[in-house]
Amino acid sequence: MPAPASSASASGHGLAVRDLFAGYRGIPVVRELTLQVRPGEVVALLGPNGAGKTTIVRILATLLKADAGRALVSGYDVVSQAVQVRQLIALTGQYASVDDELTGTENLVMIGRLLGFSRATARSRAAELLERFDLTGAAGRAAIS
């Protein structure tokens, strides 16, 4: 694994965000956010609906690109080193980790695509996992029925 590309880890920060800006349809949602979190610290994002909490999490999880600024996770840039960031973090939804209206295969393919796999690779890997865990019978059924 390549060495971190910045001094964020060297300076003791597990998370370093500087001047982060993001907007939707020309409306600013996150404005000049600067934040540093040391490894082992716990941080909560609090605010009303529309305050930008989900946008910040999506940027840090590499699911969304900021319009400006920079974010580093353990020294890895969330844009230019997204693969390394994804190997270090985990993210789940607020309510469930699967979409209950999708089949077992569709849920696994969706996660594979979020991880950056091609459609063909995601489908192949989904089939492998269903077989490995003896779940091929659930492949075509809704995840929660």
How many Cβ atoms from other residues are within 10 Å of residue 62's Cβ?
Answer: 24
For the chain, how many helices (H) and strands (E)?
Answer: 4, 4
Per-domain residue ranges for the chain?
A: 15-79, 92-145
Residue among 91, 61, 54 nearest 76 (CA): 61
Separation CA 104–CA 134 (nearest Å): 12
Which pLDDT does position 7 carry in this prediction? 43
Give residue 4's pLDDT: 45
Residues 6+ apart with CB under 8 A from 79: 62, 65, 66
Token pair listed for 70: 């920079």
CA pair distance 98, 107, nearest whole angstrom: 6
Residue pair 108/117 in contact (Cβ under 8 Å)? The answer is no
15-79 CATH choice from 3.30.2310.20, 3.40.50.880, 3.30.230.10, 3.40.50.300 = 3.40.50.300
pLDDT at 82: 92
145 residues of the chain, pLDDT tens digit each: 344 444 444 455 699 999 999 998 889 999 999 999 999 899 999 999 889 998 999 899 998 999 999 999 999 999 999 999 988 887 776 655 667 778 889 988 988 887 788 999 999 999 999 999 999 988 998 877 5
Query: How is residue 11 written in tokens?
Result: 């300076």
* pLDDT score recorded for residue 23: 92
